[in-house]
Structure 1
Amino acid sequence: MEKHIDYLTNWLRTQVEEAGVKGLIVGISGGIDSAVVAYLIKRAMPDHSLGLIMPCKSNPKDAQHANLVVEGSGIDHATIDLTDTHETMFSTITQVIQQTGDWNDKQAKLADANLRARLRMSTLYTVATNYQYLVVGTDNAAEWYTGYFTKYGDGGVDLVPIMNYTKGEVRELAKALGVPKEIIEKAPSAGLWEGQTDENEMGVTYDQIDKYLKDEEIPVNDKQIIEKMHERTAHKRRMPSGPPKFS
Structure 2
Amino acid sequence: MNVLTTFIKQEIEKAGFKKAVIGVSGGVDSALSAFLTVKALGKDNVILISMPYKESSKSSVEDARLVGEVLGAEFHEIDITPQIDAYFKRFPEASKLRRGNKMARERMSILYDLAYDSNALVIGTSNKSELLIGYSTRWGDNAHDINPLGDLYKTQVWELAEYIGVPERIVKKKPSADLWPGQTDEGEIGFSYYLLDQILVAYVDLKIKKEEIIAFGYEPEIVEKVMRMIQRSQYKRKLPIICKIAQRTVDKDFLYFRDWGI
TM-score, structure 1 length as denominator? Answer: 0.89
Backbone CA RMSD of aligned residues = 1.6
TM-score, structure 2 length as denominator? Answer: 0.84
The equivalent of 2:117 in structure 1 is: 130
* Alpha-carbon distance in 1 for matches of 2:158, 2:95: 33
Alignment length (residue pairs)? 231
* Alpha-carbon distance in 1 for matches of 2:89, 2:34: 33
Identical counterparts, % of pairs = 36
Match 2:66 to one of 58, 65, 68: 68
**Could you tell me whether the CA contact under 8 Å between 1:42 and 1:74 is conserved in 2?**
no
Are 1:229 and 2:216 an aligned pair? no
The equivalent of 1:53 in structure 2 is: 50
Amino acid at match of 2:33: V
Deviation at 1:223, TM superposition (A): 1.1
SS in structure 1 of the partner of residue 89 of structure 2:
helix
* Alpha-carbon distance in 1 for matches of 2:148, 2:198: 21
The equivalent of 1:118 in structure 2 is: 105
Are 1:198 and 2:196 an aligned pair? no
The equivalent of 2:207 in structure 1 is: none
Amino acid at match of 2:239: M
The equivalent of 2:9 in structure 1 is: 13
* Alpha-carbon distance in 1 for matches of 2:129, 2:85: 31
Deviation at 1:23, TM superposition (A): 1.1
- Structure 2: stretches of 5+ with no match in the other structure: 203-212, 247-262
After superposition, where does 1:1-247 map in structure 2 within 5 Å? 5-46=1-42, 47-57=44-54, 58-92=56-90, 94=91, 105=93, 108-215=95-202, 217=216, 218-245=218-245
The equivalent of 2:257 in structure 1 is: none
**Could you tell me whether the CA contact under 8 Å between 1:53 and 1:78 is conserved in 2?**
yes
- Structure 1: stretches of 5+ with no match in the other structure: 96-104
My pick for the range that moved more, 154-163 or 72-81, is 72-81
Deviation at 1:228, TM superposition (A): 0.8
Amino acid at match of 2:198: K
Amino acid at match of 2:157: V
SS in structure 1 of the partner of residue 95 of structure 2:
helix
Structure 1: which 4+ aligned runs deviate by more than 4 Å?
none
The equivalent of 1:100 in structure 2 is: none
Amino acid at match of 2:235: H
